[in-house]
Structure 1
């Protein structure tokens, strides 16, 4: 029996789409279902010629209105994947739909910021365009949640990202951040939008998270690599969406009627990092110093350089740190180095020497000394604990 020919219409340049595709692959692996999968060679979603495609079924990203329109009327089984909608009429008629739960994504982010003591909130969304409907659903739920708590939910759409307009767009984001009441927690519609916020805060010298706490949605590893300050992000259940979509299509290919099926997949949790860990800090000197340390701790900075950046003497800065954090400036720098080292140790492709260098330690031997003192184990033993 020949395998069914199935087209996957997704843009794998997005982490969400890649995770959905991974979930489809997991379903095929675990169930030993054999499909002949079609995707563009560059893993982009193109509908040109899809009406002439002689296949058996399609799983498609219906957040893209061009894709949705192109495949909705095809005379073969189609499973839609996309964002959830409060308005039922926005779902495609007669097509099974697997959705990321936009309400729960925003609820999880909002609750996280509240738990850290914040009382002001904003949302950084996307401009109103047909293929951004999912972003406006998230914005709508943000407005609902803040209104229900009697709070002002500040919303900013920003500009579309392009090379030509990048400088102006970043300047506009920086001006918006400076205009906000502080401290404030900001939920970004995606990690890509959250990265813009982080960059604007760094350029505008706005301490994160002491004045602006940021949380994104997607848990995109590329954003983490590109950000000086590690980003807190809500993890979508995209792989589960892929597995569910594949299961529905499998049933349809064997005569099952799934036309009325609709599955909402909740987020799987939050990857908590530095960008959202708000603490009430009264000293502006400590705020500025920690903002600088988060960016440059792993580049070998010393207490004197931090004090120079803040614009006060080392003695005065140490007094403020002891009063606010009960720690020295050196201790806080070391904590950031250790946090970076612990993260890098989880990468099996990285040598211990590289971990030491990229974490800002002067030598591998010194990193060993610090680990032994702080954790009562060597870096290698710490790694073995992680893998146990």
Structure 2
């Protein structure tokens, strides 16, 4: 027993049973940390570096409480005999009996996650929809909930519209099945009516879609608009086309769970207490910015520009990719978009530079190189002409708007 006094509150030993390799789990842990920093609570935290070891002997944990990921059935099973105060975190369920009755439970609202993604695709002007899920397994009960939420929305919209192949689960991610998985995913994508908006149940699945579209030469977002769930920075950095995603309130879930455990450590009993946490909103990026275009030449050209503009491509290379003369492509761009091919390339570079400056993760000279400008001076010239400010002034403006 730790000695404690009003000046030195008791230190509680708390286990956090999460997989810190996943952005969802990491952000929940961040929320728990936020709660600890904003209160006088003092917890000594057990968080296993290698998540595969986190359950070894957990039933013998000599501590005071546990916050755990109950989406993982192994965690729920391992904690069944445990008599310590436990706060469970996991997916929301339509079936009330799916929740643990003996513990308080903080849930991400699956129905709201899917509803936000679906509305975003509708707002983009799409009329065909699909869902890319994961294979059925005890660890993927949350994905089944997202499938059911999607089906409810589709049937409410158009009772007879949902085709049987609108939901595709694919294969589990593994080195052995990767080529087969990609080939089957491409077959499914090619068979869907176009243009189509696809909701992926995670950002990892959304990234698979982006890669498959690239291999299949399907233009994103003109033919296939994609939105994931998690807002994972890693998924955004691994593709040429920035990925739209629904932002979960994971940090709020962590703060809520920490507050509930704090109350339980003070003697409050909360069996069966549930808190449903809605998502924050949508981070809308290029993968879902669908603009209805009937011109196949312009659609293919924009697909190529989005992937390679920052590598210094010229109008001739875009025309060669599309398969028509430069003058013919320019005519299509003027008629459909009211700009030249060069202006479209420059506009994409400018968007990339603006995004990098807003994130403040690189110097101006790095931004110039990575967004495809031939020099820092040229980037300054374009910013002055198009935005009436320097890159640094733009960065300061963005910083002030975030603070406001």
TM above 0.5, one fold?
yes
Equivalent of 2:346, from 318, 322, 334? 334
> Which segments of 5 or more consecutive residues in structure 2 lack a partner in the other structure?
5-9
CA RMSD of aligned residues (A): 1.0
C-alpha displacement of 1:323: 1.3
Equivalent of 2:277, from 265, 278, 287? 265
Contact 1:10 1:44 in 2 (8 A): no
C-alpha displacement of 1:32: 2.5
How far apart are the structure 1 equivalents of 2:338 and 2:80? Answer: 61
C-alpha displacement of 1:335: 1.1
Provide closer, same or farther for how the CA distance between residues 39 and 193 of structure 1 changes in structure 2, counting only shifts above 3 A. Answer: same
User: CA offsets per residue over residues 243-289 of structure 1, 9 Å max, x none?
Assistant: 00000000000101111210000000100001111111011101111
Equivalent of 1:211, from 223, 227, 238? 223
C-alpha displacement of 1:46: 2.2
How far apart are the structure 1 equivalents of 2:388 and 2:364? Answer: 17
How far apart are the structure 1 equivalents of 2:286 and 2:360? Answer: 23
Q: TM-score, normalised by structure 2?
A: 0.95
Pair 1:285-2:293 in alignment: no
How far apart are the structure 2 equivalents of 1:255 and 1:32? Answer: 17
Equivalent of 1:9, from 7, 17, 20? 17
Equivalent of 2:97, from 89, 108, 131? 89
Contact 2:207 2:235 in 1 (8 A): yes
How far apart are the structure 1 equivalents of 2:99 and 2:13? Answer: 26
How far apart are the structure 2 equivalents of 1:199 and 1:343? Answer: 22
Provide closer, same or farther for how the CA distance between residues 44 and 3 of structure 1 changes in structure 2, counting only shifts above 3 A. Answer: farther
How far apart are the structure 2 equivalents of 1:176 and 1:260? Answer: 42
Pair 1:228-2:228 in alignment: no
> Which segments of 5 or more consecutive residues in structure 1 lack a partner in the other structure?
none
Equivalent of 2:262, from 229, 250, 261? 250
Pair 1:181-2:193 in alignment: yes
C-alpha displacement of 1:324: 1.2
Q: TM-score, normalised by structure 1?
A: 0.98
Partner SS for 1:63:
coil
How far apart are the structure 2 equivalents of 1:80 and 1:203? Answer: 41
Equivalent of 2:54, from 43, 46, 56? 46
How far apart are the structure 2 equivalents of 1:148 and 1:75? Answer: 44
C-alpha displacement of 1:43: 5.0
How far apart are the structure 2 equivalents of 1:43 and 1:31? Answer: 28
Pair 1:60-2:72 in alignment: no
The aligned residue for residue 321 of structure 2 is: 309
The aligned residue for residue 162 of structure 2 is: 152
The aligned residue for residue 162 of structure 1 is: 174
The aligned residue for residue 376 of structure 1 is: 388
Contact 1:12 1:44 in 2 (8 A): no
Q: How many residues align?
A: 388
* Aligned counterparts, 1:60-139, within 5 A: 60-139=68-147
C-alpha displacement of 1:124: 0.1
Partner SS for 1:346:
helix
The aligned residue for residue 375 of structure 2 is: 363
Contact 2:155 2:162 in 1 (8 A): yes
The aligned residue for residue 172 of structure 1 is: 184
C-alpha displacement of 1:344: 1.1
Task: Point out 4+ residue stretches in structure 1 off by more than 4 angstroms.
Answer: none
